């Protein structure tokens, strides 16, 4: 079994996680999202559908999702074929990732 960290590859444009065909099927949109992995495999993409007029509610929705997510969670830029600029989310930095959305107003 390969870990998520082992899947991260360095390219000319930055770090990426290449997706398998099964994982690509989970991609219903592009943009910044939370990727949930179990046993090194992508099992869910969470797109909080950021609305600047509902920033506080959105942050709470993200934080609630992060608090209940099983496995590993990474903040990524989903391109449909790759997860770009992956950053691991932990209990220590989960609030920061949730608050990051508020800063995008």
Nearest one of 15, 76, 16, 14 to 44, comparing CA atoms: 76
How does pLDDT run across 2-34, given as a tens digit for each residue?
A: 899 999 999 999 999 999 999 999 998 888 899
How does pLDDT run across 74-103, given as a tens digit for each residue?
A: 999 999 899 999 999 876 776 776 666 555
Task: In whole angstroms, give the CA distance from residue 99 to residue 94.
Answer: 9
How does pLDDT run across 34-88, given as a tens digit for each residue?
A: 999 999 999 999 987 766 666 667 777 887 888 888 999 999 999 989 999 999 9
């Amino acid at each position: 079994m390969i870990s998520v960290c082992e899947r991260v590859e360095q390219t000319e444009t930055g770090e990426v996680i290449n997706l398998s065909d099964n994982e690509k099927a989970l991609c219903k949109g592009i943009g910044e999202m939370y990727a949930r992995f179990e046993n090194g495999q992508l099992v869910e993409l969470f797109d909080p559908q950021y609305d600047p007029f509902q920033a506080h509610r959105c942050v709470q929705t993200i934080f609630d999702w992060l608090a209940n997510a099983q496995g590993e969670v990474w903040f990524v830029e989903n391109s449909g074929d790759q997860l770009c600029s992956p950053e691991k989310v932990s209990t220590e930095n989960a609030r920061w990732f949730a608050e990051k959305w508020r800063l995008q107003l």
